[in-house]
Structure formats: structure tokens, C-alpha cells
Amino acid sequence: MCGWIINGLKYTGVDAQFAPINDIISNGRKISGNAQTRRDGMLLQHGTILYDLNVVKMFSLLNVSKEKISDKMIKSAEERVTSVKSQTGASFEELYKSILRGFTEYKDYGIGMLSPGELRRAEELEKTYSSDAWNFSR
């Protein structure tokens, strides 16, 4: 699946490569992190694609103490990560369409709509997984 993400990123003009075991890099800097699990014949893939990046804001939102956040730490993060917007200037819509193309081009399937039953189930799952009881139970 990372290959499909890489293809999508390339359609936006990002020079992306896979960096084992779960990162995608561009010009030596991380642009995407991913994880995957397989159970009972099913696959779950999730990850991030950095569209835009504000390192100062990122650290202010993370649970990192102010003592640990330094100019050096921010500089280090800026040197290790990059974003689609900073590399290509692509709009979010362009990135979306490119990733969609990366996932569907040359495949025997396309993107469709959820059935009414699938939509109802998704709404049920949303209630479960967006609840404080679920998210703070650990």
C-alpha cells in the first residue's frame, strides 16, 4: 500500500521513496508514516501524509513539556520532516486526487459509494470510536 501512496505523491510532483519499515521519505526527509496489521484475513492500514507543516504549532499541540521543546528540537524536526505543500505547492484537492489516482490506476476496481447498510454500520462505529469511554478507557 505504501507503493500506492508513493505513486500518488509522485503525481503531485513529490520525489517519494519507501524507507523501511514504515516510512515514506522525500529528499531524505519523512513525509509519511504508516502502520499495518493483518488479522483473520483482513488488513488494516493507517498512516499520515504531511500536507503542510508548522513545527512550532505541532510541538505546542503534542504532549511535550515546554522544558523539552527547544529551538534545537524544532530545528531538528524541520530537518527531518517535510510536507507536500512545501515541496510542490499542490493544493489539498490536488493531493487528494493524486492519492486517489495512486490507489486506483491500473487496478481492476474503482472508488464507489457506501451501501445504505455500510453507511449505517460506519455511523455506529463512529459513535463507538469517538466516545470518551472508548478513547480514554486505557
Residue 119 included in any domain: no
Identity at 6, one-letter amino acid code: I
Using CA atoms, how far apart are residues 134 and 60, in angstroms rounded to an integer?
25
Residue 120 included in any domain: no
CATH assignment at residue 23: 3.30.930.10
Domain of 88 in residue numbering reads as 2-111
pLDDT band, residue 74 (cuts 50/70/90): low
Encode pLDDT of 106-130 as tens digits: 888 888 899 999 999 999 999 999 9
pLDDT the model gives residue 104? 92
Residue 20 included in any domain: yes
SS (H, E, C) 7-75: HHHHHCCCCEEEECCCEEEECCEEEEEEEEEEECCEEEEEEEECCCCCHHHHHHHCCCCCCCCCHHHHH
Residue 63 included in any domain: yes
Residue 131 included in any domain: no
Residue 129 included in any domain: no
Q: How many domains does the chain have?
A: 1
